[in-house]
A = this chain, B = another copy of it.
């Protein structure tokens, strides 16, 4: 195990990690491990499909947990949506209709895009009287759909009109996760439900910018001017994190401290094999003693 992690440390330039807290608690040994990786010259990026917060808002969460993480090190799917629009030179005179929460709005604003929708449409209702017609903005050129606790029919109809009737209008999903862990007490219907509603009404498939799409890996490789094989994806889920890393052409490290056990990894029913695995992320610390 030690040799493997050492090899990994030598190979990778950039380490991409899934968010390293559970509910409101940090996983043991995380701060020291991050310091150690940084001291070896590794760049760190934290990824989450959660789009309810912006990078800045996530930074504050890291801070309250006692971690110093810069905005640049955070890659939430809210940011990914704005980064994607930038990457395709989405026209600044077009607008984005948002089905989602504050994080997406904040990231669009930072990126200089015009938007409408978001939480303020959460209280809107429609009345289906004879002859009633919902007007929609013909300048909307993209609909971004993410998790939205204020989801309602008004938004479904407004976004559907934009996608169906505005020529060339994009349909972008932050993620299609079936469930999400908004509280640690139960699993919550995830962004996949909001996205599914629009798939149902538009009969179009979205462009996904969060996991498991490889947009993020392409973006990071491009930003840092590296090969994707120099990126290591660290996570605790085989069918999401590890598969996502593999799809992106990255090295992968499975940590056994989360949902995947060693026996699940080694089961003949499992077809997803990470490049490396270890018990917990803080195993990197034991390399301090070894000759790196």
Contact = CB atoms under 8 A, between A and B. Distances in A.
Contacts of A66: none
Given A196-B200, A201-B192, A201-B196, A149 B130 contact: no
Interface residues of A, number: 46
A189 B132 contact: no
A50 to B, nearest CB: 11
B153 A189 contact: yes
A178 interface: yes
Interface in A168-189: 176, 178-179, 182-189
What is the copy number of this chain in the assembly? Answer: 2
A269 B251 CA distance: 48
Contact of A200 (B23, B187, B195): B195
Interface in A197-227: 197-203
Contact of A188 (B125, B157, B179): B157
9 contacts: A131-B183, A132-B183, A151-B153, A156-B189, A157-B188, A178-B202, A193-B197, A193-B198, A196-B200
Nearest to A129: B183
A134 interface: yes
